[in-house]
């Protein structure tokens, strides 16, 4: 490739490149870009539909293009077959995930050359398919002591892919290695400060969170000292955390196939807190931090996610609004005397609770009925009954409708209903995980 590296471009031209990606342009207006990751290896129908339906709500989508692992120091690559039709006409970045490397990078090393060639090939393939990547993003959880070695990779890849901008994800702890970090990010066209992670909790009684707003604000302020524009990655996801009989941490599982746990394992969930993150977004919109150019959400909501936010939640938080809870009862006729009872969440917040739904009617009798999804139906009196879930809190995700029971009456009658929440899990507290 005969294109000049961005390192060699005049500063004015470099500023234009960064501006075109959405960074410098936002600084003058006080607004921030909002991007999202699409991190799935398999683009099934729910992923495609989410990209098509919600992708235009973001300034850009950064999609996982390939992941590299190492076996006997040899690279093993999983390349993601992207859905070109779904991504057409969208502002796009490619992400290259690099798993832990067994040795120090070197400028002449085979791993360095391999990664640079892979990065260039990913961009070339995307362009051949009619896509126009606005950045390549490296995601590598480097040890703090090896940032100088990582810079070798960054410089080699940046030269190889120029003029496409190269960005990297960074961990807050890297900011403490001031000299090495300054030299590392100076070799990039910008970086993404990842302020979400989960430290293994000491025991089942410990509090744990995916994103501490105070720590995030401190890291963002510290990042402003390094003279390189950056975005901040915020979480939308959750984990199921397992504890043994003694209450000690035993493992965790994330989005994906449900993991099988032993019967004596205690499970809890932790999820990104919408209210806290909405407050962060409002604060940053009102008073943009130095050199912070935007937010990138990990990750785009997909309909079959079980631990990730739904779109109504993310849409509210992106606007700086704390999502509201709004669950209601829906009674629909599926036959003249057959009625289906559902819970509908029209709000922007997932709701987990024990519910009691009271049902009443006039001049007809209850012929049959049953509860579903852990709800039981009880005949209270001649013209009334109720549905209630006693054993486990029931979750209704934002934008979701769940059928919880049915009744058959002896004739036509209008059914009145009431909804009482018997117990709610607060968004800031981990809820028991459903098995």
For position 49, what pLDDT does the model report?
Answer: 97
Q: Tell me the β-bridge partners of 164.
A: none
| Distance (Å, whole) CA 23 – CA 15 | 9
Q: What is the mean pLDDT of residues 7-36?
A: 47
Handedness of CA 298, 301, 302, 303 (dihedral sign): positive
- Decide if pLDDT at 425 tops 70: no
CA distances in angstroms from 164 to 79, 177, 332, listed in the order given: 20, 27, 55
How many Cα neighbours within 13 Å face the side chain of 331?
20
Least confidently predicted of 135-144, 400-409, 426-435: 426-435
Name which of 51, 62, 53 is nearest 95 in CA terms: 62
DSSP 296-345: EEE----TT-SSSPPHHHHHHHHTTPPP---EEEEEEEEETTEEEEEEEE
CA distance 34 to 233: 10
In the block, tokens 């049959």 appear at 368
Render pLDDT for 217-226 as a digit per residue (tens, 0 to 9): 999 999 999 9
d(CA 192, CA 217): 14
The full set of domains in the chain, from first to last, is 6-237+270-318 (3.20.20.80), 327-424 (2.60.40.290)
More reliable by pLDDT, 264 or 30: 264
pLDDT tens string 171-186: 999 999 999 999 999 9
- The Cα 223–Cα 338 span in angstroms is 61
The C-alpha atoms of residue 384 and residue 379 are separated, in whole angstroms, by 6
State the DSSP H helix or E strand holding residue 95, giving kind and residue range, or none if neither: strand 92-98
Model confidence band, residue 57 (pLDDT cutoffs 50, 70, 90) = very high
Residue range 110-126: average pLDDT?
97
| Burial classification of residue 121, based on how many CB atoms lie within 10 Å of its CB (0-12 exposed, 13-18 middle, 19 or more buried) | middle
For residue 47, pLDDT beyond 80: yes
- pLDDT band of 433, cuts 50, 70, 90: low
- Give the model's pLDDT for residue 18: 35
pTM greater than the 0.95 cutoff: no
Strands 238-243 and 266-271: antiparallel
- The secondary structure of 176-195 as a DSSP string is GSHHHHHHHHHTSS-EEEE-
Mean pLDDT calculated for residue range 55-61:
97
pLDDT of residue 203: 84
Per-residue pLDDT, averaged over 203-214, amounts to 89
Taking the C-alpha atoms of residue 150 and residue 171, their distance in angstroms, rounded to an integer, is 13
Q: How far is residue 315's CA from residue 309's CA, in Å, rounded to a whole number?
A: 10
């Amino acid at each position: 490739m005969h294109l000049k590296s961005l390192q060699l471009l005049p500063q004015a031209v470099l500023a234009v490149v960064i501006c075109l990606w959405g960074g410098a342009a936002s600084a003058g207006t006080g607004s921030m870009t909002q991007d999202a990751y699409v991190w799935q290896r398999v683009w099934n129908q729910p992923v495609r539909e989410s990209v098509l339906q919600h992708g235009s709500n973001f300034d850009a989508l950064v999609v996982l293009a390939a992941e590299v692992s190492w076996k006997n120091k040899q690279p093993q690559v999983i390349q993601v077959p992207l859905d070109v039709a779904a991504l057409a006409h969208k502002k796009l970045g490619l992400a290259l995930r690099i798993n832990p490397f067994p040795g120090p990078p070197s400028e002449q090393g085979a791993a360095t050359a391999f990664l640079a060639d892979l990065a260039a090939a990913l961009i070339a393939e995307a362009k051949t398919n009619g896509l126009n990547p606005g950045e390549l993003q490296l995601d590598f959880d480097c040890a703090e002591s090896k940032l100088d070695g990582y810079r070798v990779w960054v410089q080699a890849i940046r030269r190889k892919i120029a003029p496409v901008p190269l960005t990297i994800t960074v961990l807050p702890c890297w900011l403490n290695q001031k000299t090495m970090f300054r030299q590392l990010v100076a070799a990039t066209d910008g970086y993404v400060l990842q302020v979400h992670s989960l430290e293994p909790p000491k025991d089942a009684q410990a509090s744990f969170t995916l994103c501490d707003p105070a720590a995030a604000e401190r890291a963002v302020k510290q990042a402003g000292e390094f003279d390189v524009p950056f975005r901040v990655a915020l979480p939308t996801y959750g984990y199921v955390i397992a504890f043994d009989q003694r209450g000690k941490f035993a493992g965790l599982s994330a989005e994906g196939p449900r993991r099988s746990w032993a019967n004596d394992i205690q499970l809890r969930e932790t999820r990104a807190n919408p209210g806290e993150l909405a407050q962060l977004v409002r604060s940053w919109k009102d008073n943009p931090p130095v050199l912070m150019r935007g937010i990138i959400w990990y990750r785009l909501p997909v309909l079959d996610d079980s631990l990730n936010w739904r779109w109504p939640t993310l849409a509210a938080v992106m606007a700086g609004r704390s999502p509201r809870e709004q669950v209601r009862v829906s009674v629909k006729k599926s036959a003249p005397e057959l009625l289906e009872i559902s819970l509908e969440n029209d709000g922007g917040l997932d709701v987990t609770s024990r519910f009691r739904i009271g049902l009443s009617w006039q001049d007809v009798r209850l012929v049959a009925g049953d509860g579903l999804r852990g709800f039981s139906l009880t005949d209270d009196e001649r013209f009334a009954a109720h549905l209630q879930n006693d054993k486990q809190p029931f979750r209704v995700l934002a934008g979701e409708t769940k059928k919880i029971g049915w009744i058959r009456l002896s004739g036509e009658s209008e059914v009145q209903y009431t909804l009482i929440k018997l117990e709610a899990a607060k968004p800031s507290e981990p809820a028991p995980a459903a098995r």
